Amino acid sequence: MGKRVLLIEDEPNIIEAISFILSRDGWTVETHANGHDAVDVVQGNLPDVLILDVMLPGKSGYDILRELRESHGRSELPVLMLTARGQSKDRDLAERAGVNRFMTKPFSNAEMLDAVRDLSEA
């Protein structure tokens, strides 16, 4: 069984595309589509890498990450954050929340795959 990625993203077609790319590369991909209970899902899933969208229904990616880092002691979990906004203040918010890698949509598949590989090996 390969390494595990948890993808938290609410756009079904992006979920399918990313899942396919990572699965083909040997990853086990779990997905979740809302922010409400995302923290619980991460805690119950224990992934090797977390891919987290910023704009999610119920709770933002920033809040989910901050909660994981501060309240649940998940300081070591590698997190790749995806967002449609690439302004410096968005990067600042992500960095302050404790992100490891920040990627702006639209991204290339190779770029995304490289980022996940790098994070799992770090």
- Is residue 24 at the binding interface for other proteins, with CB under 8 A as the rule? yes
Asked if omega into 47 is within 30° of 0 (cis), the reply is no
Task: List for the chain the helix, strand, coil content (%; round to 5).
Answer: 45, 20, 35
- Under the binding rule (CB under 8 A), the answer on residue 107 touching other proteins is yes
Of the candidate residues 8, 22, 60, 84, the single one contacting other proteins (CB under 8 A)? 84
Token pair in block for residue 88: 């410096």
- State the nearest-atom distance from the C-beta of 91 to other proteins, in Å: 16
Integer angstrom CA distances of residue 104 from 12, 70, 82, 114? 18, 25, 6, 14
Rounded to a whole number of angstroms, the minimum distance from the CB of residue 29 to other proteins is 14
| Nearest CB to other proteins, comparing residues 36 and 105 | 105
Does 55 engage in binding with other proteins (CB under 8 A)?
A: yes
Among 3, 4, 14, 69, binds other proteins (CB under 8 A): 14
- Number of residues in contact with other proteins under rule CB under 8 A: 18
Nearest to 61 by CA among 22, 88, 87, 32: 32
Q: Give burial (CB, 10 Å; 0-12/13-18/19+) of 54.
A: buried
Which residues contribute to the site for other proteins (CB under 8 A)? 11, 13-14, 16-18, 20-21, 24, 55, 84-85, 105-109, 112
